[in-house]
Structure 1
C-alpha cells in the first residue's frame, strides 16, 4: 500500500496511531481472529475492540476473511489486507521555507507625494521645516526615523533577489503605523492603503495617532504631546489571499504580484484621495515608537532540489 497525503492516506495514518490497533495488527499477522477472540487476548471488551476494528477496516488495513473453507459461515475472522505500507510524501514537504529579508529605512523612498501636515524626524532632530513638502527631497531625509503626512504616499523600490528556481510561498510586510493629526488625537481613524508592484492589496484603518503614553524608544527630546507610538502591523500576501494580522483584507494572491518578473519590488503606502477616513499616516522607524525596527519586507520561498 502506497500512501499519498490525501483523505485515505490521512485515515491510514490515524488508524496506525494507536497502541491497541498496533497490537491487533500484530495478532492478526500470525492468524485470523474474530472480534471475540481479539477481545480475550487483549483483555478488552468486544465493544472497544469493534471500534478499533472499524477504523482499521475503513483504512483498508484489515478485512474479513472469506469463509469458503470454514464450515461455520457465521464466524467472522479478520486478516491483514496489506503486505506493506509506504508513505509517499510530495517533494514540497521535504523543502523547508527560506526567507529573503529587506530592511527599508524610512527616508529611502524613491517617489512621494505629500500634503501637510507633513514632516520627517531623525533620532536627533526635526529634519528641515515642518509642513514643507521640500523637506521630503532634503539630503537629510535618509536619516529619517519618523515620517508623517496628512494625505499622499511614499513609494520604495527594493532589490528583488528572487531566483527562478524559487517558488514564492508568502510575502510579509511589517511596520509600525498610526494616523496623523496635528499634535495628537487618539481617536482619529485613517484608511491606510498598501500596494505591491502597483497592485492594490487593501487597506487597514489606523484607529488614531497616539500620545497617551510615551513611546518606549521615542527620543527624550520629542514633545510628549506629539505622536509617540503606533501599532505594529503584519501584512501577508499568500497563494490564497491578503490579510493583516490574520484578518483577510482582499483576495489578491502572490501570483498577481508577479514577483518573478522584475529585478525590483515596488512598495507604496499612503492615503488614497477617495478613502472614507482620510486621517493621514505616520510611519515609525527604528528610533521612534514601541518597536526598534524599520519597514521589513520578507519573501518566504521554497527552492527546488
Structure 2
C-alpha cells in the first residue's frame, strides 16, 4: 500500500497520531480480535474502542466482520494492509499541470483470458463463469470484479495533452491479487504490466485472498477471492516503480506518447511465467478499497 504524504491523505495519517490506535494495530497484528477483547486488553471502554475502529476502518487499515458466536453475533476486527509505504517525494509538478481519470475494471478494451475466469457486477455474476466468451458480453462494462487464470486485459487511458505537452509522471493505483481455483493465499503469480506494449516490470503476488471478507465485497459473494492488495505503479523520468520500489529503467520518455494517442495499459499473467498464477482485479464495491483503476497524468507544459 503506497500513501502520498499530503493533506488529501490526512484521514489515513491521523490514524497513527493516537497511541491507543497504534496499540490496537499491534494487537491485531497478533490475531483478529473483537471489540470486547480489545477493550479488555487496553483497559478502556468498548465505546472508545468502537470509535477508534471506525476511524481505522474509514482509512482502510482495519476491516470488521460480523460473525455468529455462542452468545449471538460479534464484530471481529482484522488488519487489511500487510505494509504501508509513505511517499514523501513524488516528483510531481504543480497540480495545475495534471489530470486524473478513474477507469472501472470492467471497462477494458481488449482481452485474452483462459479459465478459471469470470466477471461480477455488484449484484451478480455476468454471464457464466469459466467461459471466456462472456468477456465480450456488453454487460462486461458493469463488472466490479474480474479474474482469469492466464492471459491479459487491456485498458485505454485517455490522452488530454495538446500541442507539444509531454508526460512527465504517470501513476496507476488498483487492487489486485492472484487467481486460484476457489482461493489459495499461498498461490504466487508473476503479474506483468505494460504501457503502449512496453513492459514496465513484473511483480510476484503472494496469493489469492479469500479467508477474510473484503470490506466492500457484496454479501452475496461467497467462497472465492475476497480482496486483493492495493498496488501503485509510477512511471517517472528516472524509471518505473511499484509502491516506490524500482521495477525497471522504463521512463515516461520510452512510452512514445503522441498528441491524440491513447495510452494502453495491460495487466497480464503469461503462461510461460515461472509462476503463472492468474489475476484477480477488484473495483468499486468489491475488495478492501472502494476504487477503480485510478490514473494520474502529470505533464510538462508546451515550451513557450
- How does the TM-score come out when normalised to structure 1? 0.66
Structure 2, gaps ≥5 residues long: 1-90
1:263 CA displacement? 2.2
Question: What are the residue-to-residue correspondences of 1:85-234 with 2, within 5 Å?
Answer: 98-223=97-222, 225-234=223-232
What is the RMSD of the two structures over their aligned residues, measured on CA atoms? 1.9
Rounded to whole Å, the distance in 2 between the matches of 1:93 and 1:175 is: 20
Structure 1 counterpart SS, 2:258: helix
Rounded to whole Å, the distance in 2 between the matches of 1:184 and 1:273 is: 19
Rounded to whole Å, the distance in 2 between the matches of 1:297 and 1:137 is: 24
1:156 CA displacement? 1.4
Structure 2 counterpart SS, 1:136: helix
1:123 CA displacement? 0.1
- In structure 1, the residue matched to 2:64 is none
1:303 CA displacement? 2.4
Check whether the contact 1:97–1:302 (CA below 8 A) recurs between aligned residues.
no
Question: What are the residue-to-residue correspondences of 1:247-266 with 2, within 5 Å?
Answer: 247-266=245-264
- How does the TM-score come out when normalised to structure 2? 0.67
Residue 238 (structure 1) aligned to one of 218, 236, 245 = 236
1:149 CA displacement? 0.2
Rounded to whole Å, the distance in 2 between the matches of 1:96 and 1:132 is: 44
Deviations 1:260-286 (A, max 9, x none): 355211111111232111000000010
Rounded to whole Å, the distance in 2 between the matches of 1:124 and 1:269 is: 25
Rounded to whole Å, the distance in 2 between the matches of 1:276 and 1:176 is: 22
Structure 1, gaps ≥5 residues long: 1-91
- TM-aligned CA distance change 1:298 to 1:171, over 3 Å: same
- TM-aligned CA distance change 1:251 to 1:217, over 3 Å: same
Rounded to whole Å, the distance in 2 between the matches of 1:207 and 1:238 is: 26
- TM-aligned CA distance change 1:183 to 1:167, over 3 Å: same
Question: What are the residue-to-residue correspondences of 1:35-46 with 2, within 5 Å?
Answer: none
Check whether the contact 1:112–1:153 (CA below 8 A) recurs between aligned residues.
yes
Rounded to whole Å, the distance in 2 between the matches of 1:248 and 1:192 is: 15
Rounded to whole Å, the distance in 2 between the matches of 1:277 and 1:162 is: 38
1:271 equivalent in alignment to 2:269: yes
- In structure 2, the residue matched to 1:290 is 288
Check whether the contact 2:161–2:259 (CA below 8 A) recurs between aligned residues.
no
- In structure 2, the residue matched to 1:302 is 300
Moved over 6 A (4+): none
- TM-aligned CA distance change 1:120 to 1:166, over 3 Å: same
- When the two structures are aligned, how many residues end up with a matched partner? 213
Decide which structure has the larger Cα Rg and report it. Answer: 1
Deviations 1:159-215 (A, max 9, x none): 211223434221101100000011110110101111101111111111110012110
1:98 CA displacement? 2.6
Rounded to whole Å, the distance in 2 between the matches of 1:282 and 1:158 is: 20
- TM-aligned CA distance change 1:94 to 1:113, over 3 Å: closer
Structure 2 counterpart SS, 1:181: coil
Check whether the contact 1:211–1:226 (CA below 8 A) recurs between aligned residues.
yes
Check whether the contact 2:100–2:295 (CA below 8 A) recurs between aligned residues.
yes
Rounded to whole Å, the distance in 1 between the matches of 2:261 and 2:123 is: 35
